[in-house]
Amino acid sequence: MGMKKVWIASMAVMLAAGLLAACGNNGGSDKKIIKIASQSPLSGGSSVQGEAIKLGAQMALEERKAEFEKLGFDLQFTPYDDQADPKKGVANAETIAADKQIMAIVGHMNSGVAIPSSVVYDKYGIPMVSPSNTATEVTDRKLKVVNRIVARDDFQGPAAAQYAVNTVGAKNIFVIQDKTAYGQGLADAFKSEAEKLGATIAGYEAITIGEKDFNGVITQILSKKPDFIFFGGLYAEAGQIVKQARDKGVTAPIMGGDGIDTAGMVEVAGDKVVGTLYTSVSTDITKTDAGKAWADAYKQKFGKNVDGYSAYAYDCMNLILNALKEAIEANDGDLPTREQVRDQVRATKDFEGMATKVTFDDKGDNAYAKVFVYEFKAASYPGSLISEVSK
Amino acid sequence: MMDKLITGLQGSKYAQAALLALFVALTCAWVFLMDKSVVAFLLLLSSLLLLHYTSFPTKIKWAVGGVMLLLVVPFATSGGASHEAYMEVATQCGIFIAMALGLNVVVGFAGLLDLGFVAFFAVGAYTYAIFSTPQATEFMSGGWLPLTGSYFWLFIFIGGFIASLFGILLGLPVLRVKGDYLAIVTLGFGEITRIIFNNLDKPVNITNGALGISSIQAPNLFGYHFTFPHQFYFIVIAILALVILCVKRLEHSRLGRSWKAIRDNEIAAQSSGIPLIRTKLTAFAVGASFSGMMGVVFAAKQTFVDPTSFTYLESITILVMVLLGGMGSVPGVILGACVITLLNLQVLTEITLWLNQLTMQGIIKVPHALSPSKMQRFIFGAVLILFAIFRPNGLIAARNRKVDEGRLRAANAPVSAKLRDPSGHGEGGSS
Amino acid sequence: MISDLLHSLPQVLVDGLTLGAVYAVVAIGYTLVYGILELINFAHGEIFMSGAFIGTAVMLMFESAGWLGAMPGWLAYMLIMAAAMLVTGLMGVGIERVAYRPLRSAPKLISLISAIGVSFFLQDLVRFIAELSTGSYLISSSTLYNDNLQLRVSKLGGSLGDAFLKTNTVILIVVAVLLMVGLDLFVKRTKWGIAMRAVAQDRETAALMSINVNKVIALTFFIGSALGGATGVLFAQQYGTVDPFIGYVLGIKAFTAAVLGGIGSIRGAMFGGLFIGMVEMFASANLGVLTSGNFGGEYKDVFAFAILIVVLIFKPEGLFGKAVKEKV
């Protein structure tokens, strides 16, 4: 026995192989191909923002295809889905490293994925520029390949605390976090700065991500009667917390971080969202005319409204392409090595992007990164910009 | 015609050898020459499956398999730029195979459904992560911390040992419950473990909570650092060899047969003198230790651990591997683990990329919701249902070794004591 | 500290009752199926989730068609509930037919694995549908009966604080109790209910007494799933947002409730659900206060799971169940 089945099985494998081989073909081209990859969660809980990163990067790349064509290069975009999962991110990173045509990466969205994946990039010298990583650990390891154009948690959290204490006048603050790397990092940074500024912390509680009922923690808030509430976490939970707190008659202002800087927040919290504050590392680009025009073009191209990180991903890609172009020129028009591109990316100075100006310091942090404070004045996204903090 | 060919093949080992060699040579050349071809790589790996079905003696199969894994595969993939990517996939396959074999001991041999199996993997991973980073100094003092990468080798066993302790700890109370109650208790334990790992950053910071532990030391052997997947590949192969050896020896040993007896009928097994508690506990301990060892490797390879890598979905993924391959069947489970890991890491990703390309070129429009790399749960769910209904024995069904009664009697008639302890190995009916 | 606890007690009780009512009705679904098939229907949490999605979808449909303003709220509520109960009931019957019935004589392990498969399959199926039709799987809809009420418990004196709730909370609790009482009466008084109990007790003998066992099992699945679906609607109305993954953890907790009360016992499930809901709410509201911040609400799920484990180990028949001797 056995052999017959094996034959059938091998035939099936061959057939599948044929199918796959058909997809593997890239088609020959005389031009030298340069690929830029993106890594962001295209599936799972934060796929809305992950998708925005992909589309923003894609838009920038497609706009500049012709420019590189003149230089003799065929520019291509390869989006990867890291599923917000560190394991998947690392496996993708190895795949990316294997594809010698990939010169740089836009991403990741989650710091928890960026940290292990960037170790892989570092081994192969592939630069990554993140439009959204805020955890301090991302750049504090001083890897040559890691850059980000947004503010760090130890800038965003304290900026939020300063706003809460100095501007709003909060004295008795309740802090909630969602026990994820992102939420905890932000909430901790907020808490320590708020304490430094003289506010007392009425309570520090954690919730379970993915749940819908947060009445327990809100009951605690009711009995502690804080005059300000800060939440480190994402919109799905933040929306419920805001809604349930308002239902219970909690009137203290509620503030969140960039995790609630998304249209989803308004959808979940509904009308109750009005009055909610949030800090963000990304600006509302639709405020300027150029930004508005860009957002319209984006909408027309992809049929979706811009999300917080769209413009930042767009800037990341443009920044990479600028560096790439300079590396090509420095290399007399030949294909540069990854290391050359990496060093060129890090050397970026006074890059004027759609959303932010960028100069990288020696760790890969952006010296011009800003933190913006918004308020949902109506139940619509984005909220209105009420304050801006730079370093 | 076809049938004749097949019967011919079945008869002649030389023909099989030639065919296998041809297949290996072809796929090798393909992998070596093509820059990146998932298909070729899959075919190369499937030659091991062909090997399984040949009618060579078991020892030769193992030898050929070993040569394939140690020499042929690393060499063939070294041709193109994709070397590391292939090796990464192969390494992860190896890690999952060991875990699936561990779960197979618990579920397949002993019939105890464990839905929180990934907890042991987490225990192993955290054991190494905590002591090879400054994390350990958060809750204990001592100038010897953090340990360097040369302790990695020791930690493979420490990780395995601690995981098996956890297995016993979990097993002790669990033994009072049976069947599906056991399943739900293990699920509860798995979740509790994850929640505790996620929250144990206060009052004493042991696991660094949700932030995870990063910058874990790479293994170091006399100054030689293991950082690239092709280096981890050999570590994984070595551990895997150990695990497979263990499982194969255990399977037909007295203990292995006790496991199966308990699985098939607990009360009958008990009344024929099998110590229930000890037997079940060893199943948990053995299964957990495999997982723990690979946890250590995983931590060192990723250089980062956090609780999101150890969710219920992971436990179910390992269960899918075991069920797909065939509960209780060692070659089956290996196949199942490979198929699922490759599906996850390579096939789904590639198809998604391809669909993405087509969508971007405007050839077809695939809605984002249907992108294959999102379909894990869908596929796993379907596999579980379909296999449970139509093929509960999996792809390669477990075979109980046939006992030649006449021969046994003849051999043991003078020394009947021998009957009580027939050695666990020898020429096996299963391979 | 004690005064803190007392102050929040009324609120904890109200919220615990709400959550507990949801657990209780879902727990009944587990208990019915386990009673009759001795199978943990892992997919039941997903049935609940599907009910929530169907409720939300019908709600959105009403909204976009402009019917919501045209009919009274209670009618809309009832229509939504009826739709969700019908669909989830049929889903339950379908799942039993496809994934469980072929395995009725197979080892327990296999049917359990099949059940886990169904649960995963449904999660992704619902996600597909939601994402294809709206672009995101996290779906919010408007809710009926949003007025806020305040129970002035503080007037009673002592250090008790007020409790806040929505009108919908009251509806949720009332409907849940009605469903449970209705089911209890059905099982105790009607011919079909008696048949269900007969099949649960001894399938072969029941078959000999000319009870159509397959029909009774299908009916059990229909009722259990419809109850789960109805709870899903109540849940969606209470919280306004649903996603495909709400069923898993909630399902496990509801199962815990069923086990605690004694699996197979409907009244036990009610008690277990309320108990688990209360414990969870109490833990998340007070754990941080009691341990001065060392262990906070993030550990609340540990309590539910620990209860599950302890009950299964030391009193597997639960508080209201009967111990069963294993047959060889």
Backbone angles phi, psi at C281, to 5 degrees: -65, -40
- Specify whether the CB–CB gap between A95 and B92 falls below 8 A: no
How do beta strands A146-148 and A128-130 pair?
A: parallel
Burial class of residue C58 in the structure, from the number of CB atoms within 10 Å of its CB (0-12 exposed, 13-18 middle, 19+ buried): buried
Q: What is the pTM of this model?
A: 0.87
Residue A44, pLDDT score: 64
Nearest residue of A to residue B355, measured between CA atoms? A23
Residue B284, pLDDT score: 92
List all residues of chain B from 298 to 357 with a beta carbon under 8 Å from chain C. 312, 316, 319, 323, 327
**Mean pLDDT, chain B, integer:** 83
How far C122 CA sits from the closest chain B CA (Å)?
8
Least confident of B78-92, B111-125, C268-282: B78-92
Cα-atom radius of gyration of chain A, to the nearest Å?
23
Q: Which of A10, A58, A123 sits opposite B228 (nearest CB)?
A: A123
Interchain contact, A249 vs C148, CB within 8 Å:
yes
Interchain contact, A85 vs B211, CB within 8 Å:
no
How far B134 CA sits from the closest chain A CA (Å)?
14
Q: Please compute the mean of the pLDDT values over residues C81-102 and round it to a whole number.
A: 95
Cα-atom radius of gyration of chain C, to the nearest Å?
20
**Tens digits of residue pLDDT in A95-129:** 888 888 899 999 888 888 898 899 889 988 999 99
Residues with Cβ < 8 Å from A104, sequence gap 6 or more? A36, A37, A126, A127, A128, A129, A320, A323, A324, A338, A341, A342, A345
Block residue for tokens 């109305």: C237
Least confident of A129-133, B32-36, C180-184: B32-36
CATH code: domain of residue A167: 3.40.50.2300
Q: Please compute the mean of the pLDDT values over residues B200-216 and round it to a whole number.
A: 83
Q: Please compute the mean of the pLDDT values over residues A13-27 and round it to a whole number.
A: 49
Which structure tokens are listed for A304? 């979706």
Q: What is the phi-psi region of residue B219: left when phi exceeds 0, alpha when psi lies from -120 to 50, beta otherwise?
A: beta
Q: Which of C135, C140, C285 sits opposite A216 (nearest CB)?
A: C285
Q: How far is CA A97 from CA A122, A219, B35, B104, in A?
A: 10, 50, 13, 34
Backbone angles phi, psi at A175, to 5 degrees: -110, 130
**Tens digits of residue pLDDT in C192-227:** 999 998 998 888 899 998 889 999 999 999 999 999
Interchain contact, B185 vs C123, CB within 8 Å:
no
**Mean pLDDT, chain C, integer:** 88
Based on the fold, state whether residues A257 and A311 are members of the same structural domain: no
Q: Look at residues C47, C28, C30 and name the one whose alpha carbon lies nearest to residue C182.
A: C28
- Specify whether the CB–CB gap between B322 and B102 falls below 8 A: no
Whether the per-residue pLDDT at C23 is higher than 90: the answer is: yes
How far C275 CA sits from the closest chain A CA (Å)?
15
Based on the fold, state whether residues A381 and A304 are members of the same structural domain: no
B261 in C contact zone (CB under 8 Å) = no
Q: Please compute the mean of the pLDDT values over residues B352-368 and round it to a whole number.
A: 73
**Tens digits of residue pLDDT in B216-263:** 888 888 878 888 888 889 999 999 999 999 998 998 899 999 999 988
Best interface-test mutation with C: which of B106, B170, B185, B259 has the largest number of C CBs within 10 A?
A: B185
How far B324 CA sits from the closest chain C CA (Å)?
11
Burial class of residue C72 in the structure, from the number of CB atoms within 10 Å of its CB (0-12 exposed, 13-18 middle, 19+ buried): exposed
Least confident of A175-189, A355-369, C150-164: C150-164
Residue A24, pLDDT score: 44
**Tens digits of residue pLDDT in C225-248:** 999 999 999 999 999 899 999 998
Under 8 Å CB pairs connecting chains B and C tally to: 141
Query: To 10 degrees, the CA torsion angle through C15, C20, C26, C32?
Result: -160
Query: To 10 degrees, the CA torsion angle through C152, C275, A231, A55?
Result: -130
Q: 3-state SS string over chain B?
A: CHHHHHHHHHHCHHHHHHHHHHHHHHHHHHHHHCCCCHHHHHHHHHHHHHHHHCCCCHHHHHHHHHHHHHHHHHHHHCCCCCHHHHHHHHHHHHHHHHHHHHHHHHHHHCCCCCCCCHHHHHHHHHHHHHHCCHHHHHCCCCCCCCCCHHHHHHHHHHHHHHHHHHHHHHHHHHCCCCHHHHHHHHHHHHHHHHHHHHHCCCCCCCCCHHHCEECCCCCEECCEECCCHHHHHHHHHHHHHHHHHHHHHHHCCHHHHHHHHHHHCHHHHHHCCCCHHHHHHHHHHHHHHHHHHHHHHHHHHHCEECHHHCCHHHHHHHHHHHHHHCCCCHHHHHHHHHHHHHHHHHHHHHHHHHHHHHHHCCCCCCCHHHCHHHCHHHHHHHHHHHHHHHCCCCCCCCCCCCCCHHHHHHHHCCCHHHHHCCCCCCCCCCC
Residue A145, pLDDT score: 93
Based on the fold, state whether residues A190 and A167 are members of the same structural domain: yes
Whether the per-residue pLDDT at C113 is higher than 80: the answer is: yes
- Specify whether the CB–CB gap between A31 and A72 falls below 8 A: yes
- Specify whether the CB–CB gap between C292 and A203 falls below 8 A: no
List all residues of chain B from 369 to 398 with a beta carbon under 8 Å from chain C. 369-370, 374-378, 380-386, 388-389, 392
Whether the per-residue pLDDT at B12 is higher than 70: the answer is: yes
Residue B35, pLDDT score: 65
Element (H, E) at C248: helix C246-261
In the chain, the amino acid numbered A291 is G
Q: Which of chain B's residues have a Cβ under 8 Å away from the Cβ of A81?
A: 349, 352, 371, 373-374
Residue B161, pLDDT score: 95
How far C191 CA sits from the closest chain B CA (Å)?
31
Please state the domain extents for chain B. Answer: 1-81, 84-400, 407-431
Domain range spanning residue A225? 154-280+372-390
Q: Which of B2, B302, B352 sits opposite A81 (nearest CB)?
A: B352
How far B203 CA sits from the closest chain A CA (Å)?
13
Block residue for tokens 């060692």: B330
How far C110 CA sits from the closest chain B CA (Å)?
6
Whether the per-residue pLDDT at B348 is higher than 60: the answer is: yes
Based on the fold, state whether residues A165 and A65 are members of the same structural domain: no
* Helix B229-251, helix B276-302: angle, nearest 10: 170
Interchain contact, C312 vs B180, CB within 8 Å:
no
Which structure tokens are listed for B244? 């497979």
**Could you count the other beta carbons within 10 Å of the beta carbon of residue A88?**
23
Nearest residue of C to residue A222, measured between CA atoms? C8
**Tens digits of residue pLDDT in B147-182:** 888 889 999 999 999 999 999 988 887 777 777 788
Least confident of A37-51, A308-322, C23-37: A37-51
Whether the per-residue pLDDT at A331 is higher than 60: the answer is: yes
Backbone angles phi, psi at B341, to 5 degrees: -65, -45
How far A302 CA sits from the closest chain B CA (Å)?
11
Task: Grade residue B422 by pLDDT with cuts at 50, 70 and 90.
Answer: very low
Q: Which chains touch B (3 or more CB pairs under 8 A)?
A: A, C
Q: Which of chain C's residues have a Cβ under 8 Å away from the Cβ of B375?
A: 124
Q: Which of chain B's residues have a Cβ under 8 Å away from the Cβ of A179?
A: 198-199, 209-210
Based on the fold, state whether residues A114 and A256 are members of the same structural domain: no
- Specify whether the CB–CB gap between A173 and A200 falls below 8 A: yes
Task: Grade residue A227 by pLDDT with cuts at 50, 70 and 90.
Answer: very high
Q: Which of chain C's residues have a Cβ under 8 Å away from the Cβ of B199?
A: 295, 298-299
Least confident of A305-314, B402-411, C28-37, C246-255: B402-411
Residue B2, pLDDT score: 63
Best interface-test mutation with A: which of C284, C299, C303 has the largest number of A CBs within 10 A?
A: C284
Task: Grade residue B96 by pLDDT with cuts at 50, 70 and 90.
Answer: very high
Block residue for tokens 């154009």: A149
Task: Grade residue B423 by pLDDT with cuts at 50, 70 and 90.
Answer: very low
Structural domain includes residue A236: yes
Structural domain includes residue C159: yes
C286 in A contact zone (CB under 8 Å) = yes
CATH 1.10.287 at B84-400, yes or no? no
* Helix A111-124, helix A86-98: angle, nearest 10: 30
Residue C151, pLDDT score: 79
> Is residue C161 helix, strand or coil?
coil
Based on the fold, state whether residues A209 and A353 are members of the same structural domain: no
Least confident of B232-241, B252-261, C18-27, C158-167: C158-167
Q: How far is CA A136 from CA A189, A313, A352, B366, in A?
A: 10, 20, 24, 37
User: What is the percent of chain B with per-residue pLDDT over 90, rounded to a whole number?
Assistant: 26
Backbone angles phi, psi at C43, to 5 degrees: -75, -5
B43 in A contact zone (CB under 8 Å) = yes
Length in residues, chain C: 328
Which structure tokens are listed for B155? 């930690």
B103 in C contact zone (CB under 8 Å) = no
How far B244 CA sits from the closest chain A CA (Å)?
23
Q: Which of chain A's residues have a Cβ under 8 Å away from the Cβ of C240?
A: 243, 268, 270
> Is residue C8 helix, strand or coil?
helix
Based on the fold, state whether residues A381 and A241 are members of the same structural domain: yes
Q: Please compute the mean of the pLDDT values over residues A1-12 and round it to a whole number.
A: 53
C245 in A contact zone (CB under 8 Å) = yes
The A-side interface with C (CB below 8 A) comprises 45, 47-48, 179, 203-208, 210-217, 219-220, 222-223, 236, 239-240, 243, 247-249, 264, 267-268, 270, 304
In the chain, the amino acid numbered C165 is L
- Specify whether the CB–CB gap between A79 and A20 falls below 8 A: no
Structural domain includes residue C172: yes
Task: Work out whether the CA dihedral A313, A319, A323, A329 comes out positive or negative.
Answer: positive
Interchain contact, C114 vs B382, CB within 8 Å:
no
Residues with Cβ < 8 Å from C53, sequence gap 6 or more? C126, C129, C130, C139, C232, C236, C242, C244
Residue B403, pLDDT score: 66
Backbone angles phi, psi at A358, to 5 degrees: -130, 125
Based on the fold, state whether residues A244 and A132 are members of the same structural domain: no
- The residues that bridge with A385 in the sheet, in sequence order, are A374
Residue B360, pLDDT score: 67
Task: Grade residue B427 by pLDDT with cuts at 50, 70 and 90.
Answer: very low
In the β-sheet with A102-107, what is the strand arrangement from edge to edge? A73-81, A32-40, A102-107, A128-130, A146-148
Whether the per-residue pLDDT at A22 is higher than 60: the answer is: no
Interchain contact, A95 vs B83, CB within 8 Å:
no
Q: Please compute the mean of the pLDDT values over residues A258-271 and round it to a whole number.
A: 87
Task: Grade residue B210 by pLDDT with cuts at 50, 70 and 90.
Answer: confident
* Helix C2-37, helix A215-224: angle, nearest 10: 170
Residue A391, pLDDT score: 72
Q: What is the ipTM of this complex?
A: 0.89
Q: Which of chain C's residues have a Cβ under 8 Å away from the Cβ of A52?
A: none
Task: Grade residue B81 by pLDDT with cuts at 50, 70 and 90.
Answer: low
Domain count, chain C: 1
Nearest residue of C to residue B108, measured between CA atoms? C109
Whether the per-residue pLDDT at A261 is higher than 90: the answer is: no
Residue B228, pLDDT score: 82
Based on the fold, state whether residues A99 and A171 are members of the same structural domain: no
Domain range spanning residue C146? 2-177+212-314
Q: Which of chain A's residues have a Cβ under 8 Å away from the Cβ of B12?
A: none
Domain count, chain A: 2
